[in-house]
């Protein structure tokens, strides 16, 4: 099966992928839906220094820390 990393759009959080993640998991896939720094349940971390590079590092961190190889990255904005 496949590994999916689902990336939310602006002013949301990983929770927006709940239904899609549930469908993918039911089909046997592994799913990660992190919340980017400064959004959703991580809004308390918001500050003027957060930018696209911060969010790229958020996703790279998930890939590295979880040891994910050949993951399918899905995003929208």
| pTM confidence score | 0.93
Give the closest residue to 68 by CA, choosing from 22, 2, 20, 8. 2
Residue 12 has pLDDT above 90, yes or no: yes
- Please say if the pLDDT value at position 28 is more than 90: yes
Is 27 catalytic? The answer is no
Q: How far is the C-alpha of 22 from the C-alpha of 38, rounded, in Å?
A: 25
pLDDT tens track for 43-55: 999 999 999 999 9
- Per-residue pLDDT band for 76 (boundaries 50, 70, 90) equals confident
């Amino acid at each position: 099966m496949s590994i999916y990393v689902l990336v939310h759009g602006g002013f949301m959080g990983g929770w927006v992928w709940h239904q899609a993640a549930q469908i993918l998991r039911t089909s046997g896939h592994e799913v990660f839906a992190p919340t980017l720094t400064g959004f959703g349940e991580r809004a308390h971390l918001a500050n003027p220094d957060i930018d696209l590079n911060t969010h790229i590092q958020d996703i790279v961190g998930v890939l590295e820390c979880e040891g994910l190889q050949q993951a399918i990255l899905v995003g929208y904005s």
